Amino acid sequence: MNDFKSLRVLDAFRWIFEKFDIDYPIMRKLIQLKLTMDSRRIPAIFNGQKQKKEGNQFIKSLWLYLFYGLLLLTPFLFLRNQYMFASSILFTVLMFITITTMVSDFSAVLLDVRDKNILQPKPVSNRTLNAAKLMHIVIYLALLEGSFVIIPLAVGIYRFGIFYGLIFIVSIVFVSCFVVVITALTYLFILRFFSGEKLKDIINYVQIFLAVAVMVSYQVMAHSFELTQMNLQYTFTWWHVFLPPLWYSAFFEVLLNQDYSINMLILMACGIVIPLLMLRIYIKLMPTFERSLSKLMSDTVRTKGKSHFFEDWTSKILCRNAQERTFYRFASLMIRQEREFKLKAYPQIGFAIVIPFVMFFNEVRIDSLKEAMANENVYPLYFSALMIPTVVHLLKFSGAYKGNWIFRATPISNSKMFYSSTLKAAIVKLFLPTFALLSIVFIAMFSWAIIPDLLIILLVAIMMTLLSYVLLNGEVYPFSNSHELTQDNNTLKVLVAMVVIGAFALVHYLIAMIPYAKLIYMLILIIAVIVGWRLVFGEKKNHGHS
Amino acid sequence: MIGEPILRLQNIEMSFGNKQVLNGINLEVGKGQIIGYIGPNGAGKSTTVKLMLGLIEGYSGKIEIFGKDIADGDYTYKKRIGYVPETAELYDHLTAAEYLTFTGEMYGLEREEAEKKAYQLMFQFGLEHAFHQRLTSFSKGMRQKVLIISSVLHNPDLLFFDEPLSGLDANSVLVVKEILAKLAEEGKTVFYSSHIMEVVEKISDRIVLLVNGLVVADGSFEELQQQGKEGTLEEIFNQMTGFNQQVEIAERFVEIVKEGRVHE
């Protein structure tokens, strides 16, 4: 096993862990093991064809965050010598990125029960186990944030001096600590009060909720400064105590601008006391967390089967033969029941629901509400299609991926039907409900007249599903790869998807200006979907594996 | 050889990278036989089975099943095959009912038929209470039973059982052994690989011993005994694989265990 640099850095903090009664050498070994496993990810044997290179995909994707940092954070440092505004935007973006990755990518690690059977029988305390799990996440988070802030940090030091840099680093440590602990505490709370099957469902709803909450608070943050007045003056209001980015901006205000007003000191105190307090609570409750996690493995005794009316009905409409219908139902069940899949997919649904509204109300801020309503502005709905690339990509994986021998052992004439029906199931089970909900609200806001537009967006979404499959998956058997911590870079996919979806939205916008063109466009899309689907999944006469 | 040939392997070779796993296997199996396929770890037993099922590709030689070369791309031969893999891997987020109905349907059964049959078979194993529970909550033995059921739901003519008794309790083992005998009586062919020699000795019509990717012995238990080897199948196995150091190895093993400092 390699001796990782990150572990050597961790060694410097050994005394902290020992103070909390954690068996440091054991914890170190556990983390080393996890990191080694992460660096040895290779695709499952059955998926043959192209052998990907070994290595930690996450580390390889860090350069992208470097770029984001440059793009998203650095500009704010060139605002006038007014720390409050610049740094609170900076921290908002930072927290936003951290929480979203925490919720969508690291939740699975935090709630992992797979190695319980291996590690639990060994003489290791729950406390140490949990600390290892947490530190495993923290190392990745530190790398992510490190690459994210390195450029802004350098620019900051250059502009405001070394003291600024020091405060910056300290506050980032506090911010990360805050984010990790608050996520863990939320799960802990849920685990404590629910059990069995219900718990599994609730965890996914919590994820949607967290995703929505993060999005909304991001907006609140931006609005706490009256942007329209252009002077960016900060005035303290009592509810600012609940906005963590302001706590850390206050650090700069107090220490660099020598603003010792009571408001600033309160904010700064919050920034130090609250994370530490929460960390203290978390450490105290850690053993409870591990114990409650085992609830995730149990199944409540059920003696009756669930009805599959909806799946039956949709499978009859969407699938042509019995095999496809069978697999469609199978995929629907996998999507509905696999915990790891849901852990990663459900936050996307949360974003898909909330982003269109955020975009809509941003519009409203520029125009007036009345004007925005009159415009029948349906374009924000395109943002809901952003969930598609991620969800389609997730269909490759399963916690029980080794069960995929069954696909090969069974007599299947056209192996392309596996993905064809899986994609259909994903659209029906995940995208359609989300989109239906959004459509109802948008129809209520505007009028029935937007229905053609909604149909166009739906067709584009189906196109996106097909495109995502071709570009991201392109393999024969779904649910056949191991889920892993951070397999690929999500953000890059979303970025590419954004460009494609943007192009579609632009076409839609232009078409809307020509009368009757919408109907023609819709027809073209329908034909494109059908032809595209046939091209990708159509049965070829003599295909064989060789 | 009795009956029509169900399965014929001709000079099968297979390698993973540089490692040659099968070195030219020749085998012919007739209808209604129970073949005990044995050999030390890594001899290539599972690989042979996986090749015949089309789970892995890239062999040389010829595999004929039901009289047809499986390399010609016609998948339909799989309809008449049932398979229990060595490792009990299945999509365990599903309930037993869901998984069994799914596999049954994949083999061409009607849904209602698959579900009804699956329930009746689960009932025979005394698992009807767990029919609608997720497989994640199943014990090793229960999973094994689900896999056995999933392999026979479609009434196949050829069965590949790779270590099918692992995790089963003594009574269930008796039941499964009886089931195998009955299936063979019905004219089904069972290709059975296992490390438990007592069972292989008792149920097999014919035993095929594989060492280093080659068939080194082939015949009924009595025939193997007549070839000058005596005693139980386990002893024959040890002789033919050239293994007689068990006592020395065990002694050294325990010595090492005792060495070093004592942990409290």
How many whole angstroms separate alpha carbon B123 and alpha carbon B210?
Answer: 37
Backbone angles phi, psi at A446, to 5 degrees: -100, -110
Rg (CA), chain B: 20
Cβ neighbours of residue A363 under 8 Å, at least 6 residues apart? Answer: A372, A377, A380
Q: Can you give the pLDDT at residue B191?
A: 92
Residues B152, B174: Cα–Cα separation, whole Å: 18
Helices A517-537 + A490-511 axis angle, to 10: 140
A334, A413, A544: residue with CB nearest B93: A334
What single-letter amino acid sits at A537? F
SS3 A90: helix
Residue A236 has pLDDT above 80, yes or no: no
pLDDT over 60 at A489, yes or no: no
**pLDDT attached to residue B90:** 86
Four-residue CA torsion sign, B185, B186, B189, B193: negative
Kindly indicate the confidence band of residue A424, based on its pLDDT and cuts at 50, 70 and 90: very high
| Chain A residues with beta carbon closer than 8 angstroms to that of B93 | 333-334, 337-339, 399-400
- Higher per-residue confidence, A198 vs A37: A37
Query: Which residue of chain A is at minimal alpha-carbon distance from B111?
Result: A326
pLDDT at A45 exceeding the cut of 60: no
Chain B closest-CA separation from residue A338 CA (Å): 6
Instruction: Name the pTM for this structure.
Output: 0.75
DSSP states of A452-481: HHHHHHHHHHHHHHHHHIIIII--S-SS-E
Long-range interactions of A162-168: CB distance < 8 A, separation 24+: A163/A255, A163/A256, A164/A252, A164/A256, A167/A251, A167/A252, A167/A255, A167/A256
The single residue listed with the structure tokens 């007014």 is A82
Tell me which of B3 and A515 has the higher pLDDT: A515
CB atoms within 10 A of CB B177: 15
CA R_g for chain A: 25
Is A305 within 8 Å of B95 when comparing Cβ atoms?
Answer: yes
pLDDT of residue A439: 94
* A339 touches B at CB < 8 Å: yes
Half-sphere exposure of A147 (CA within 13 A, CB side): 17
Cα distances (angstroms) measured from residue A270 to each of A165, A171, A273:
21, 12, 5
Q: Which two tokens stand for residue A222?
A: 């931006």
Query: Which residues sit opposite B20 in a β-bridge?
Result: B15
Q: Which residues of chain B have pLDDT under 50?
A: 1
Mean pLDDT lowest among A200-209, A537-546, B130-139? A537-546
Beta bridge partners of B13: B23, B60
**DSSP one-letter string for B101-162:** HHHHHHTT--HHHHHHHHHHHHHHTT-GGGTTSBGGG--HHHHHHHHHHHHHTT--SEEEEE
Q: At what angle do helices A417-426 and A322-337 cross, to 10 degrees?
A: 50
Minimal Cα distance from A417: which residue of B? B106
A545 pLDDT higher than 50: no
Instruction: Confirm if B36 and B194 have CB atoms less than 8 A apart.
Output: yes
Distance from CA of B130 to the nearest CA of A (A): 7
- The pLDDT score that the predictor gives to residue A56 is 64
pLDDT of residue A48: 37
pLDDT band at A399 (very low <50, low <70, confident <90, very high): confident
Q: Which residues pair with B191 in a beta bridge?
A: B35, B160
Take residue A220 and report the two structure tokens written for it: 């609140």
Compute CA B208 distance to the chain's CA centroid, rounded to the nearest angstrom.
13
CA distance B205 to chain A (A): 26
State percent of chain A over pLDDT 70: 79
Name which of A14-23, A269-278, B147-156 the model is least confident about.
A14-23
Q: How far, CA to CA in Å, does A473 sit from each of A391, A525, B124?
A: 11, 23, 42
Question: Residue A395 has which token pair?
Answer: 């269909």
**Which DSSP letter does residue B35 get?**
E
B75 and A411 within 8 Å at the Cβ level: the answer is yes
Q: How many CB atoms lie under 10 A from the CB of residue A162?
A: 9
Contact at CB, A297 and B98, closer than 8 angstroms: no
**Type and span of the H or E element at A60:** helix A57-60
Higher pLDDT: A437 or A386? It is A437
pLDDT at site A228:
42
When the pLDDT of each residue in chain A is averaged and rounded to a whole number, the result is 79
The reported pLDDT for the residue numbered B262 is 61
Task: Quickly count: other Cβ atoms within 10 Å of residue A423's Cβ.
Answer: 26
* Residue in chain B lying closest to A49 (CA): B57
Residue A386 and residue A497 in contact, taking contact as beta carbons nearer than 8 Å:
yes
C-alpha span between B27 and B216 (Å, rounded): 11
* Structural element, H or E, at residue A280: helix A262-293
| DSSP H/E element including A471 | none
| Residue A486: predicted pLDDT | 45
| Span A60-89, average pLDDT | 72
Check pLDDT > 50 for residue A46.
no
Query: Which of B106, B122, B138 to mutate against chain A (most A CBs within 10 Å)?
Result: B106
CA distance B60 to chain A (A): 12
Task: Tell me B89's DSSP state.
Answer: -
* pLDDT single digits (tens) A90-99: 788 888 778 8
Q: What is the pLDDT of residue B264?
A: 54
In this model, does residue A514 exceed pLDDT 90? no
The residues with which B208 forms a beta bridge, in sequence order, are B37, B218
> What's the confidence (pLDDT) of residue B88?
78
**To the nearest whole angstrom, how far is the Cα of B196 from the nearest Cα of chain A?**
24
Looking at residue B36, what DSSP letter applies?
Answer: E
Using CB atoms, pick whichever of A334, A400, A411 lies closest to residue B89.
A400
**Is A322 an 8 Å CB contact of chain B?**
yes
The confidence score (pLDDT) of residue A376 equals 74
pLDDT at residue B46, as a whole number: 87
Three-state secondary-structure class, residue A228: helix
Residue of B66, B91, B102, B137 to mutate, testing the A interface (most A Cβ within 10 Å of its Cβ): B91
Q: How confident is the model at residue A458 (pLDDT cuts 50, 70, 90)?
A: very high
- The pLDDT, as a whole number, for residue B124 is 94
DSSP B239: H
pLDDT average, residue stretch A79-85: 66
Q: Rounded to whole angstroms, how far apart are CA atoms B98 and B131?
A: 9
> Chain B: residue nearest A408 by CA?
B55
Contact yes or no for A410 and B106 at CB 8 A:
yes
Phi then psi dihedrals of residue B67, to 5 deg: 80, 10
* Strand-strand pairing, B158-162 and B81-84: parallel
pLDDT tens-digit readout, A517-533: 889 999 999 999 999 99
Do the Cβ atoms of A305 and B102 come within 8 Å?
no
Long-range contacts, stretch B242-248, CB < 8 angstroms, 24+ apart: B243/B40
**DSSP state, residue B95:** B
**Residues recorded for chain B:** 264
Q: A112 CB contacts (<8 Å, ≥6 apart)?
A: A133
Note the pLDDT of residue A203. Answer: 73
The letter for the amino acid at A214 is: V
